[in-house]
Chains A and B, each alone.
Chain A
Amino acid sequence: MSRGGEHASALRSFLKRLAQFVIVLATTLLGLVAVTFFIGRVVPIDPVIAIVGDRAPPHVYERTRKELGLDKPLAEQFVIYVKKAATGDFGNSVLTTNPVMSDIARVFPATLELATLGTIIGTLIGIPLGVLAAVKRGTLIDQVVRFLGLVGYSIPIFWLGLMGLLLFYAKLGWVAGPGRIDVTYSYLYTPVTGIVLLDTLMQGQMDAFWDAVSHVALPACLLGYFSLAYISRMTRSFMLNELAQEYVIAARVKGLSEFRVIWRHALRNAAVPLITVIALSYANLLEGSVLTETVFAWPGLGQYITNSLQNADMNAVLGGTIVIGTVFVLLNLVSDLLYRLLDPRTR
């Protein structure tokens, strides 16, 4: 086959894969919306009463019911719901009276900040630890990494957060307590990106910046630990796989230094599946935000959802669920696509 033909067939297979990806993404998101719609319908709370109160006269009740579209057949309601969800319209929050989407846009940066920091910490420490554990298989360091991983898989995140606050905030005073920034500093900067660390730094408010750092340190390290537990375990298993391959023997026979064999040759081959792992761990941290943010009074999406839950604000709960679910699904599928793109072996 000519080179041009090869290119064309590679392109065709890529397009085919892309089409598959789009179909999978669309059905998964539709499934997500369908589940939240279903949840919204089985709710024992009458959404009309939630708005007008239970002492409203019947005609007000009927009018609101019509305005909400609840008098239409269920299938039609679902179509309307999907259309609205596709444009990011999840209705108004009963609690804040704002559109749910604008509420989410306001709180989401805080969640993103925390999860990103956690993933960075987890990756920077987790990968070297995993590599070390694989190289020194069966030694003390391997056992320590295994133990760290097991504890990370077994410990309730909210409890570890509380114990961390007790030790590092209350007893030792090394870090600041719950919240994102001290009230004293909260008016010294204008929120632009919504990410406090960036905002304060860009506006040169160094005192506020350091205060924000001392607030974020504990929750970020905590999330970093959970991501580390997962990443190091997976790195170890990928590396063991690679180190058993023949090219590693070839590289050693060639006389390459052990450092080069491990970090340049083996790790590079393990790097592609690791992208998937890091993306998954990022998605898990976003999901876990409902617990961490409650513990650290961190004003992000997780806390928004739990607050709305306690106030029976279903629009907000379902909107938040769809947003986190969408990010989760996207991270899952994009990492899968990346994996196929970056690794020639899967073509």
Chain B
Amino acid sequence: MAGAPPLSQSSRLQAWLLSPEPASRWQARFGRFYLGWRSFTKNPLAVLGLVIVVLLILVAVLAPLIAPYSPIAGGDLRTQRLLPPSETYWFGTDDQGRDIFSRVVYGSRITLWVVMLVAVIATPIGVIIGTVAGYTGGWVDTVLMRITDIFLAFPRLILALAFVAALGPGIENAIIAISITSWPPYARIARAETLTVRNSDFIAAVKLQGASTPRIIFGHIIPLCISSVIVRVTLDMAGIILTAAGLGFLGLGAQPPMPEWGAMVATGRNYLIDQWWVAAMPGLAIFVVSLGFNLLGDGLRDVLDPKAAK
């Protein structure tokens, strides 16, 4: 059209993203992502959550650059033990003369590791059990869902505690224990989502083309379930962090001298009254990080699952 002002780079990109007739599958996907992003960024608390989580990842990755001291090697016990927060030691020092700030920084790696591994272990278990149960139906469904319900009715922390007690204390065993206790909600959600698409025409069409059951489940059903499961996993992250920290606090998680936040709070308990910072600082880190995941999860739910948002 003659006379139309030339579009700037960014508004042309926006028009491409918001095009009602996307020319390719990728354009449609980017467009959907952009719309979701726009409604996500309207929620300042959700953005704050995202910032906290991104910061956690950055701190974990860049820990050696950020931490001024070693998180493990102790300082001089005569002069550097239990010092209050100061310019040299931002969060003070602990009973071994170690810089608490450096330990909190390195502790983010453990927290992130726990959260990632639990997500990687528990999500597939839940999704596969849920979709298989939902798609197959019949007695398979009954048996799988009965097992899921049994696990769902268990107290998570106590069960994780008993598992770790049996397997022996340690971060890997804590991760296994938390994973074993956290998959059932994902199975429930995946099954519910499967039931809504199971009898739809496109599944029938795929079936008529001769696709096998595993192909239908992995290629067509799981991709449709995954977004609600991801929201749920993100909402659960805070709970996972708190459970891991709780196990650490009871001495069943990461073992010393690893700078696990829960275990650091447990150490600080001995010096609570006179050297409050030993317990306060790592606990604050747990709080901030799980708050971040909660905010992010709430925001994601509002974007991806508008039905549940209230």
Q: Chain A interface: which of B63-71, B90-98, B145-153, B223-231? A: B145-153
The binding surface of chain A is classed by DSSP as: helix
Q: Is the CB of A153 within 8 A of B294?
A: yes
Residues of A within 8 A of B157 (CB): 287-288, 290-291
- Interface-centre pick from A40, A241, A321 (highest chain B CB count, 10 A): A321
By beta carbon, the residue of chain B nearest A320 is: B158
Contact call B155/A166, Cβ cutoff below 8 A: no
Judge whether A105 is part of the interface by a CB distance below 8 angstroms. Answer: no
Task: Looking at the assembled complex, report how far the CB atom of B244 sits from the nearest CB atom of chain A, in whole angstroms.
Answer: 10
Given A158-B265, A287-B158: A27 and B250 within 8 A (CB)?
no
Contacts of B71-123 to chain A: CB distance below 8 A: none
Produce 1/0 per residue, A320-335, CB < 8 A to B: 1100110011001100
Q: Please give the number of chain B residues whose Cβ is less than 8 angstroms from any Cβ of chain A in the complex.
A: 47
Nearest B residue (CB) for A163:
B280
The answer to the question of B42 belonging to the interface, with a C-beta cut-off of 8 Å to chain A, is no
Interface residues of B in 263-277 (CB under 8 A from A): 265, 268-269, 272-273, 276
- Within 8 Å CB of B163, what residues of A? 39
Q: How far is the CA of A320 from the CA of B161 in the complex (A)?
A: 11
**Given A170-B273, A309-B252, A32-B161 contact (CB < 8 Å):** no
Q: Judging by beta carbons under 8 Å apart, are B265 and A31 in contact?
A: no
Q: Which stretch of B17-25, B165-173, B201-209 is in the interface? A: B165-173
- Given A154-B238, A156-B246, A163-B283, does the pair A287, B155 have CB atoms closer than 8 Å? yes
Distance (whole angstroms) from the CB of B41 to the closest CB of chain A: 19
Min distance, Cβ A139 to any Cβ of chain B, angstroms: 16
Q: For A318, what are the chain B residues with a Cβ–Cβ distance below 8 Å?
A: 162
When the two chains form the complex, which single residue of A39, A165, A290, A328 contacts B166, counting CB atoms closer than 8 Å?
A39
Whether A162 pairs with B265 at a CB distance below 8 angstroms is: yes
Q: Which of B2-10, B54-62, B129-137, B285-293 contacts A (4 or more CB under 8 A)?
A: B285-293
B150 touches A31 (CB 8 A): yes
Q: A279 at interface (Cβ–Cβ under 8 A)?
A: no
Complexed CA–CA distance, A296 and B295 (Å) = 30
Flag if B246 contacts A158 (CB, 8 Å): yes
A305 and B291 CA atoms in complex are apart in Å by 29
> Within 8 Å of chain A (Cβ to Cβ): is B154?
yes
Q: How far is the CA of A208 from the CA of B13 in the complex (A)?
A: 74
Contact A159 B162 (CB under 8 A): no
B310 touches A (CB below 8 Å): yes
Q: How far is the CB of B273 from chain A (nearest CB, A)?
A: 5
Which of B161, B242, B249, B286 is in CB contact (< 8 Å) with A321? B161
Bound complex: CA A154 to CA B239 (Å): 8
A55 to B189 alpha-carbon distance, docked (Å): 53
Query: Is B262 an interface residue when CB atoms closer than 8 A count as contact?
Result: yes
Tell me which residues across on chain B come within 8 A of A294, comparing CB atoms: 249-250
A320-B166 Cα distance, complex, nearest whole Å: 14
Q: Is the CB of B276 within 8 A of A166?
A: yes
Asked if A155 is at the interface (CB within 8 A of a chain B CB), the reply is: yes
With A42-B167, A165-B272, A166-B273 as given contacts, are A324 and B155 in contact (CB-CB < 8 Å)?
yes
Smallest Cβ-Cβ distance to A238: which chain B residue: B310
Q: Smallest CB–CB gap between B298 and chain A, Å?
A: 8
Residues of A within 8 A of B154 (CB): 32, 35, 325, 328-329
Does B159 touch A at the CB level, under 8 Å? yes
Across the interface, A154 reaches (CB within 8 A) one of B161, B252, B269, B294, namely B294
B250 and A325 within 8 A (CB): no
Among B155, B167, B262, B283, which residue has the most Cβ atoms of chain A within 10 A?
B155
B156 at interface by CB-CB < 8 Å: yes
**Contact flags A194-230 to B (C-beta < 8 A → 1, else 0):** 0000000000000000000000000000000000000
B295 contact set on A, CB distance < 8 A: 150
Q: Report chain B residues within 8 Å CB of A74.
A: none
Is the pair B250, A309 in contact by a Cβ cutoff of 8 Å? yes
A310 to B295, CA, bound (A): 36
Asked whether, in the complex, the Cβ of A321 is within 8 Å of the Cβ of B168, the reply is no
Instruction: Please name the residue on chain A nearest to B177 by beta carbon.
Output: A39
> How would residues 299 to 326 of chain A score, 1 for a CB under 8 Å from any chain B CB and 0 otherwise?
0000001100110001001101100110
A237 at the interface (CB under 8 A from B): yes
Q: Check: A44 CB closer than 8 A to any chain B CB.
A: yes
Q: Does the CB pair B166–A43 fall under 8 Å?
A: yes
Chain B nearest Cβ from A225, distance in angstroms: 14
- Say whether B279 faces chain A, with CB atoms less than 8 Å apart: yes
Residue A77 CB within 8 A of the other chain:
no
Contacts A40-B166, A287-B158, A290-B161; A150 near B287 (Cβ below 8 A): no
Q: How far is the CA of A241 from the CA of B295 in the complex (A)?
A: 23
- In the complex, which residues of chain A have a beta carbon less than 8 angstroms from the beta carbon of B249? 156, 158, 291, 294
Chain A interface (Cβ < 8 Å from any Cβ of B): 24, 27-28, 31-32, 35-36, 39-40, 42-44, 150-151, 153-159, 162-163, 165-166, 170, 237, 240-241, 283, 286-288, 290-291, 294-295, 305-306, 309-310, 314, 317-318, 320-321, 324-325, 328-329, 332-333
A-B contact pairs, 29 of them (CB 8 A): A27-B150, A32-B154, A35-B154, A35-B159, A36-B162, A150-B291, A151-B287, A154-B242, A155-B287, A156-B242, A156-B245, A156-B262, A159-B283, A159-B286, A162-B268, A162-B272, A286-B155, A287-B156, A288-B157, A290-B158, A290-B161, A290-B250, A294-B250, A305-B158, A310-B251, A317-B165, A321-B158, A328-B158, A329-B153
